[in-house]
């Protein structure tokens, strides 16, 4: 990925502009600067500007120079056409001219920037003007937060992450994009805070890799971390994966699975035995402590409940959802234990969930007694 270093340079010249010593400009990636920053000189009595030249040279450690390509452009105010109009308007007296340079440098390091031009004054004398040269030293910005995005998050988590840089202070220049595995744009956001909340509630993205890119002036940022003494370079692009939480349930019945073969004795008259609560749960660390988070997606629902023997249940089943809990209340056939002391029963719940395809089942068992 290319590294961009934006520089905005403002030059205002007088007729006599001394060469002087080099001035040094220290900037970071994508940071806007202005030169000079106070008391600019004015280039007066100009009727025409010719042969504008912008030269950028990379300075190597051995002191050698190499001319490099760039996209730095100049902007002249007023332009030559306007200069002619103003000169005629003032009966041959030419106005002052200001030049603005803006653009970018593609690679980090040390550079020498030089701006020159030829002009014609109202004294009919051509004058060659060359700016004093500038050293431009480009370094990496520092990210404000030492934390990084994790490589995975659970469905239903609430995550916001800031990739603001200490030196890049224009909040309107930040933006980010989130792409799916096929590089299809999922979300575009403005600002330096990446909001993953809407992504982490899209069940169709579970198990898929997502790619996040953060921008400043539409460019990827290469940065360093605070309190870092090494030369590590990081970029505002990340890869994350959305994990599904685990289905949990609350009931006095035993689950009918290979790991749990214990027989659960359940009183026919115990009202609590009719209640089943379902939720999804995941854990996360907050300030070093583990917290449990409970959620139930809107798409989760119990379709039906069957019993074996079939005459154990009536058709009266109540469903409700409150917060992160999906509840089922069953109704027993009051004649089920007629002339019996006990009977083994198996319940099968049929449900749908956004985390898995098709209709799923979960079984419970118990020995029902009076």
Both structure tokens of 37: 């920053």
| Residue, of 255 and 175, whose pLDDT is higher | 175
Residue numbers of the domain that contains 353? 246-369
Number of domains in the chain: 3
| 146 falls within a domain | no
- Say which DSSP state 164 is in: -
Q: SS3 of 25, please?
A: strand
Where a domain ends, among 209, 243, 277? 243
Determine if the pTM surpasses 0.85. Answer: no
Check whether residue 77 and residue 180 sit in a common domain. Answer: no
Q: SS3 of 45, please?
A: coil
Q: Is residue 173 over pLDDT 90? A: yes
Q: Please count the helices (runs of H) and the strands (runs of E) in the chain.
A: 1, 29
Give the whole-angstrom CA distance, residue 186 versus residue 177: 8
Q: Are 140 and 29 in contact (CB under 8 A)?
A: yes
Check whether residue 216 and residue 280 sit in a common domain. Answer: no
Give the whole-angstrom CA distance, residue 135 versus residue 33: 13
Angle, CA of 224, 230 and 233, to the nearest 5°: 35
Check whether residue 215 and residue 264 sit in a common domain. Answer: no
Check whether residue 132 and residue 226 sit in a common domain. Answer: no
| 283 falls within a domain | yes
Check whether residue 207 and residue 313 sit in a common domain. Answer: no
Q: What is the pLDDT at residue 16?
A: 37
Check whether residue 234 and residue 302 sit in a common domain. Answer: no
Q: What is the pLDDT at residue 35?
A: 64
Q: What is the pLDDT at residue 196?
A: 94
| 147 falls within a domain | no
- Say which DSSP state 358 is in: S
Q: What is the pLDDT of residues 133-146, one digit of tens each?
A: 788 888 899 999 88
DSSP 109-130: EEEEEEEEEEEEETTS-EEEEE
| 144 falls within a domain | no
**Least trusted range by pLDDT, from 123-132, 209-218, 279-288:** 123-132
Mean pLDDT of the chain: 83
Check whether residue 231 and residue 250 sit in a common domain. Answer: no
Return the number of other C-beta atoms located less than 10 Å from residue 271's C-beta: 8
CATH number at residue 96: 2.60.40
Q: SS3 of 200, please?
A: helix
Check whether residue 250 and residue 356 sit in a common domain. Answer: yes
What's the whole-number mean pLDDT along residues 150-166? 92
End-to-end CA distance of the chain: 73
Closest-CA residue to 305 (of 336, 245, 346, 357): 346
Both structure tokens of 15: 């007729």
Q: SS3 of 34, please?
A: coil
Check whether residue 284 and residue 171 sit in a common domain. Answer: no
| 293 pLDDT tier (thresholds 50, 70, 90) | confident
DSSP 217-233: TTEEPEEB-TT--S---
Q: SS3 of 312, please?
A: helix
Q: Is residue 7 over pLDDT 60? A: no
Residue 42 half-sphere exposure toward CB, CA atoms < 13 A: 8
The number of angstroms, rounded, from the C-alpha of 333 to the middle of its chain's C-alpha atoms is 56
Backbone angles phi, psi at 288, to 5 degrees: 85, -5
Where a domain ends, among 113, 139, 165? 139
Backbone angles phi, psi at 254, to 5 degrees: -95, 145
Ranges of H-type helices in the chain: 80-89
Q: Is residue 63 over pLDDT 90? A: no
| Residue, of 83 and 12, whose pLDDT is higher | 83
Q: What is the pLDDT at residue 261?
A: 60
Give the whole-angstrom CA distance, residue 12 versus residue 36: 8
Q: What is the pLDDT at residue 45?
A: 72
Check whether residue 58 and residue 134 sit in a common domain. Answer: yes
Give the whole-angstrom CA distance, residue 170 versus residue 317: 58
């Amino acid at each position: 990925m290319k590294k961009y270093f934006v520089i905005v340079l403002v030059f205002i010249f007088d007729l006599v502009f001394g060469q002087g010593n080099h001035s040094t400009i220290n900037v970071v990636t994508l940071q806007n600067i202005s030169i000079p920053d106070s008391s600019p000189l004015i280039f007066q009595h100009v009727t025409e500007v010719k042969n504008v030249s912008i030269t950028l040279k990379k300075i190597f450690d051995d002191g050698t120079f190499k001319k490099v390509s760039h996209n730095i452009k100049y902007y002249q105010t007023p332009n030559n056409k306007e200069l002619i109009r103003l000169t005629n308007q003032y009966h041959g007296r030419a106005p002052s001219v200001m030049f603005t340079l803006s653009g970018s440098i593609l690679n980090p390091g040390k550079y020498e920037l030089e701006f020159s031009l030829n002009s014609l004054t109202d004294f009919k004398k051509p004058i060659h003007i060359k700016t004093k040269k500038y050293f431009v030293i480009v370094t990496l910005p520092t990210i404000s937060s030492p934390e990084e995005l994790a490589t995975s998050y659970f469905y239903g988590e609430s995550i916001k992450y800031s990739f603001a840089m200490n030196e890049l202070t224009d909040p309107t220049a930040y933006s980010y994009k989130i792409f799916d595995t096929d590089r299809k744009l999922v979300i575009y956001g403005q600002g330096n805070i990446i909001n993953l909340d809407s992504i982490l509630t899209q069940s169709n993205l579970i198990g898929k890799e997502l790619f996040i890119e953060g921008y400043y002036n539409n460019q990827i940022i290469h940065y360093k971390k605070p309190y870092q003494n090494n030369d590590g370079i990081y970029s505002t692009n990340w890869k994350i994966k959305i994990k599904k939480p685990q289905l949990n349930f609350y009931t006095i019945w035993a689950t009918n699975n290979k790991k749990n073969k214990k027989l659960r004795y359940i009183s026919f008259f115990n009202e609590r035995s009719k209640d089943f609560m379902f939720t999804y749960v995941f854990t996360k660390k907050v300030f070093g402590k583990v917290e449990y988070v409970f959620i139930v997606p809107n798409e989760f629902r119990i379709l039906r409940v069957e019993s074996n023997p079939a005459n154990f249940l009536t058709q009266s089943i109540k469903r409700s959802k409150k917060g992160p809990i999906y509840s089922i209340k069953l109704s027993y056939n009051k004649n089920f234990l007629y002339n019996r002391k006990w009977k083994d029963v198996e319940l099968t719940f049929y449900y749908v969930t956004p985390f898995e395809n098709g209709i799923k089942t979960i079984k419970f068992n118990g020995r029902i007694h009076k």
